[in-house]
Structure 1
Amino acid sequence: PALLRLLGQLDPPGEAPGAPAAGAALDAIGCHPGVRLVVAEVAGEVVGSVMLAVLPNLSHHSMPFAQLENLIVDKAHRGRGLGRALMGWCAEQARAAGCYKLQFQSRNHRKASHGFYRRLGYQALTVGFRRYLRSTPPPLA
């Protein structure tokens, strides 16, 4: 429940999963090799989360790469280093797994997040494309 509340700040309105779907997804994440979901807690309260997937690769000398997903820090706890700590954890895990890169996407409208990522040394290098295969979330500015 605490993680679902937190993810509700990340998903567009009406897109956050309900408890049954989230439970099934958590079970699948736990069974998927190379995928880890971690949370940040303050005084026993879940206030941050990130998911990291280490994926095998045929290019770049067959070195794996890491894909970061769903980084979120509760609005009331931002600016306290939790996002930096979660990103640092992801980078450490990726390095330890021998990954040649750590990548992620961020929606165009998240300008404050883009500045945060740049301050951590990440660069916007590619153009991403997406096609929703199920329901399409509402358009974002």
Structure 2
Amino acid sequence: MAEVRLREATKQDLDKIVAMLADDRLGSKRERYELPLPECYLHAFMAISADQNNELIVACRDNEVIGVEQITFTPYLTHQGGWRATIEGVRVSASVRGLGIGTKLIQYAIDRAKVRGCHLVQLTTDKQRPEALQFYQRLGFSATHEGMKLKL
């Protein structure tokens, strides 16, 4: 396999990113992958790109986008005003799953969190994705809290 490199996403990557987000049982119910992409994805991309506390990272092989993650850095009053990194939207193209690309993305996020002085890296994973939970546990994450969400 050709070398996988990580970089910040560009607007030209957006089609492939949304395709990966929509390419599973859960994502297909909440994403709208159609060309041209709905404007909402471009608006979100522009907001993420403009925010110094957000990074949208893609994994590439031979200039093809094969993975994605978003890292958000947030200051908190708890933990003596410490910063946290939150990892969201991790996806790897179905054709290359199991080749270590997800691990590379998560390690990159952890390294970025250290550079930014974060005391904690956190993420959520849907309870309907037990394989994702096992993946994150293998990387050292612990299910220490019960997360709750309210759809608006």
TM-score by length of 2: 0.83
Q: Is the 8 A contact 2:70 2:90 kept in 1?
A: yes
Q: Distance in 1 between matches of 2:60 and 2:47?
A: 23
| Residue 16 of structure 1: aligned partner | 31
2:85 to 63, 66, 72: 66
| Residue 58 of structure 2: aligned partner | 39
1:74 to partner: Cα distance: 1.0
Q: Distance in 2 between matches of 1:44 and 1:19?
A: 24
1:19 to partner: Cα distance: 3.3
Which consecutive segments of 4 or more residues in structure 1 shift more than 6 A? none
| Residue 4 of structure 1: aligned partner | 18
1:14 to partner: Cα distance: 4.0
1:39 to partner: Cα distance: 0.4
Instruction: Say which structure is richer in helix.
Output: 2
Structure 1 unmatched runs, 5+: 134-141
1:30 to partner: Cα distance: 0.7
TM-score by length of 1: 0.89
Deviations 1:80-129 (A, max 9, x none): 11000000000001111111100010011111111111111111111010
2:100 to 71, 74, 81: 81
Aligned to 1:80, the other structure's residue is in SS state coil
Q: Indicate the larger mover: 8-17 or 31-40.
A: 8-17
Aligned to 2:28, the other structure's residue is in SS state coil
Identity %, equivalent residues: 26
| Residue 48 of structure 1: aligned partner | 67
Q: Distance in 2 between matches of 1:9 and 1:100?
A: 33
The AA in structure 2 aligned to 1:89 is Y
| Residue 90 of structure 1: aligned partner | 109
Q: CA RMSD in A?
A: 1.3
Structure 2 unmatched runs, 5+: 1-14
Q: Is the 8 A contact 2:75 2:83 kept in 1?
A: yes
Q: Distance in 1 between matches of 2:51 and 2:84?
A: 16
| Residue 126 of structure 1: aligned partner | 145
Q: Distance in 2 between matches of 1:12 and 1:89?
A: 24
The AA in structure 2 aligned to 1:50 is E
Equivalent residues, number? 133
